[in-house]
């Protein structure tokens, strides 16, 4: 079950006896847990009608599940980070025996308990207990939102704060901040405060107040470099390196951007439309425009050479044939030299 199906079922009043919450999108997962708890647990008797256990042994889990609710139809049992679902090893019980014990118990789960196994990130699908939950529980997937879902989510959060935003600026926001909803939520709060007295959030507001993800900073660096602005490119490089990134990391991302330019140029040459190109390159439309503009400054052969320089340099550094110190800068200088040659011709 996807998380949107879970929310729809919960809104309709359908509550299962046992869930597994897994997936990368922690913000939505926590929100789902909060909403489920509000449906199951009466605030007046919360202390008596909910339990939270971290990697419990089978007997501890069963004892908690068998406890009857007080003045309510159900009680809630939350199991955090069970070793039966993660890569860690149980500390106080044998995993094989635990699975056997719980397999027997899950044949007749009580209707009086809503049990939630909560895993940070993805559960280990190879585990025997995971296969048991596939049969006896509802597994809810909290995957990272796609671009359309992100745009809708951002617009809704801003609407709750009395602000409007265009689809293009929604894309600008998640491209700048990143797709993590926890980070986006904080940045949206900043935007609402910053735009006090206005009813619309603009691109200028986003660029002025929002924190930039490291990916966006590298995108900014690549854009400056590929546009021939060597001064800005080296200033951004120094700033990113001072913040703890390595030259190899930047070299890898620069190589990715060069490959994106090459593919964009090849797709444009083949007659592909903007929508198809943006989809295949995995970038929003405004980034596609910049990508095509930058790609237009080079020939396909030159773009292929730039990709090769990045790949070869990274390979040489990793094999000890080249010092990491100065390796990134060497590639940057070669790209800038190419720009100068193109301007002369």
User: Are 41 and 50 within 8 A, CB to CB?
Assistant: yes
**96 and 183 part of one domain:** no
Query: What residues have CB less than 8 Å from 337, skipping those under 6 apart?
Result: none
- Compute the C-alpha angle 91/96/100, nearest 5°: 120
pLDDT at 64: 92
Give pLDDT tens digits for 316-325: 999 989 899 9
**198 and 264 part of one domain:** no
Region 178-192 average pLDDT = 90
Number of domains in the chain: 3
pLDDT of residue 344 exceeding 70: no
**201 and 303 part of one domain:** no
d(CA 7, CA 208): 35
Domain end point (choices 141, 173, 192): 141
d(CA 18, CA 45): 21
**165 and 118 part of one domain:** no
pLDDT at 207: 87
What's the CATH number where 63 sits? 3.40.50.300
Give pLDDT tens digits for 44-90: 777 788 889 999 999 999 999 999 888 888 899 999 989 999 988 88
**232 and 311 part of one domain:** yes
Give pLDDT tens digits for 118-150: 999 899 989 999 999 999 999 999 988 888 888
d(CA 100, CA 128): 10
User: Are 281 and 273 within 8 A, CB to CB?
Assistant: no
- The whole-chain average pLDDT of the chain stands at 88
**39 and 130 part of one domain:** yes
**64 and 159 part of one domain:** no
At 282 the three-state DSSP class reads coil
Domain end point (choices 209, 227, 261): 209
pLDDT of residue 339 exceeding 80: no
**250 and 321 part of one domain:** yes
**160 and 248 part of one domain:** no
- Confidence band for 178, pLDDT divided at 50, 70 and 90: confident
Q: Give the predicted TM-score (pTM) of the model.
A: 0.67
pLDDT > 90: percent of the chain: 43
**218 and 205 part of one domain:** no
d(CA 21, CA 1): 10
Region 198-223 average pLDDT = 85
Give pLDDT tens digits for 280-331: 887 777 778 888 888 888 889 999 999 999 999 999 999 989 899 989 999 9
User: 263 lies in which domain range?
Assistant: 214-344
d(CA 180, CA 154): 12
Return the structure tokens found at 66: 């068998």
pLDDT at 52: 92
pLDDT at 345: 62
**49 and 125 part of one domain:** yes
pLDDT > 70: percent of the chain: 99
What's the CATH number where 200 sits? 1.10.8.60
**160 and 68 part of one domain:** no
- Contacts of range 266-273, beta carbons closer than 8 Å, 24 or more positions apart: 266/300, 268/292, 268/295, 269/300
DSSP output for 55-115: S--HHHHHHHHHSPPSSSS-EEEEEES-TTTSSSPPSSS-HHHHHHHHHHHGGG--TTEEE
Beta strands in the chain (DSSP E): 18-22, 50-54, 75-80, 113-118, 138-141
pLDDT of residue 215 exceeding 80: no
pLDDT of residue 188 exceeding 70: yes
Please state, as a whole number, how many other Cβ atoms lie within 10 Å of the Cβ of residue 5.
12
Phi-psi region of 212 (alpha: psi -120 to 50; beta: other; left: phi over 0): beta
What's the CATH number where 300 sits? 1.20.272.10
Region 245-272 average pLDDT = 88
Domain end point (choices 162, 181, 209): 209
């Amino acid at each position: 079950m996807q998380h949107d199906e879970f929310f729809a079922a919960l809104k309709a009043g359908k509550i299962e006896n046992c869930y597994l919450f897994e997936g990368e999108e922690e913000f939505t997962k926590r929100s789902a847990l909060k909403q489920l708890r509000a449906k199951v647990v009466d605030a007046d008797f919360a202390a008596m009608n909910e339990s939270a256990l971290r990697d419990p042994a089978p007997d501890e889990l069963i004892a908690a599940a068998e406890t009857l609710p007080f003045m309510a139809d159900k009680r809630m049992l939350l199991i955090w980070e069970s070793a039966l679902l993660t890569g860690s090893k149980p500390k106080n019980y044998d995993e094989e025996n635990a699975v056997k014990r719980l397999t027997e118990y899950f044949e007749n789960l009580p209707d009086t308990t809503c049990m939630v196994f909560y895993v940070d990130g993805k559960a280990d699908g190879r585990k025997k207990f995971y296969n048991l939950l596939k049969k006896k529980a509802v597994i809810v997937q909290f995957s990272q939102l796609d671009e359309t879902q992100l745009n809708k989510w951002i617009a809704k959060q801003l609407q709750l704060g009395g602000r409007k935003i265009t689809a293009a600026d929604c894309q600008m926001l998640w491209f700048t901040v990143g797709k993590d909803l926890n980070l986006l939520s904080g940045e949206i709060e900043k935007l609402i405060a910053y735009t006090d007295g206005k009813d619309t959030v603009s691109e200028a507001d986003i660029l002025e107040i929002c924190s930039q993800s490291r990916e966006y900073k590298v995108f900014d660096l690549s854009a400056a470099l590929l546009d021939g602005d060597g001064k800005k490119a080296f200033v951004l490089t120094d700033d990113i390196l001072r913040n703890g990134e390595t030259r190899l990391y930047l070299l890898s991302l620069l190589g990715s951007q060069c490959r994106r330019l090459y593919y964009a140029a090849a797709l444009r040459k083949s007659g592909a439309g903007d929508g198809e190109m943006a989809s295949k390159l995995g970038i929003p439309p405004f980034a596609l425009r910049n990508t095509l503009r930058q790609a237009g400054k080079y020939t396909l052969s030159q773009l292929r050479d730039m990709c090769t320089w990045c790949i070869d340099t990274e390979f040489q550094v990793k094999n000890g044939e080249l010092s990491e110190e100065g390796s990134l800068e060497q590639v940057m200088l070669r790209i800038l030299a190419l720009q100068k040659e193109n301007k002369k011709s």
